[in-house]
Amino acid sequence: MEEKVADERNRIGNITVLRDSFDHLDAVLDLNRRVFSEDRLINRLDHEPLIFLTAHCNGRLAGFKIGYALNRRVFYSAKSATDPAFRNRGVSRILMDAMIHDAILLGFREMQYDTFPALYPGMIVVGLKYGFRIKSLHWNPDYGDFQVRLARQLQNWQSQPGARDEFYESQISLRCLR
């Protein structure tokens, strides 16, 4: 399947989303260091269930997304990053769509995530585009920023324009852009 893009000159290959991405952990940790300047990915990788997604373009890691259950009803998107070379190319949207699909398949009714607006101002905008709403806000002295929790119900969720319904497969191939 192909992602429709406005500018044909920007097509360079396929984005493939993989699940259970521990085979790519070293590349994910490297991207995490480059994007967040920290070694910690998330506090623990032994959550049940854990969704660990990676996006690849032409054999190169383009991004990752990792999340886990807060409880039987709520799924938490813990961390995601897109390689700067692949930003504004739909990688984060594809990963978000895949995680939401997986969370729905696992029976979750709500998805939540935290962000720090002074550090990552675009993450609130992304959430609002996806129908997330601000659930809570508090000062986090460790980050020197407000920590904003966003949440959205997963019932009646519709994928974003250009997203595909084939997220039931173990791999997803879409076009990536230069």
Whether the per-residue pLDDT at 90 is higher than 60: the answer is yes
Give the Cα-Cα-Cα angle 175, 97, 119 (nearest 5 degrees): 95
Per residue in 110-138, pLDDT tens? Answer: 999 999 988 888 889 889 988 999 999 99
Confidence class for position 54, pLDDT limits 50, 70, 90: very high
Quote the tokens at residue 46: 């032994």
Sequence spans of domains, the chain: 8-109+165-177, 112-153
Separation between Cα atoms, residue 145 and residue 100, nearest integer Å = 27
Q: What is the pLDDT of residue 126?
A: 85
Confidence class for position 159, pLDDT limits 50, 70, 90: low
Residue 113 half-sphere exposure toward CB, CA atoms < 13 A: 24
Confidence class for position 105, pLDDT limits 50, 70, 90: very high
Higher pLDDT, 174 or 147: 147
Structure pTM?
A: 0.78
Query: Tell me, which fold does domain 8-109+165-177 have in CATH?
Result: Aminopeptidase (3.40.630)
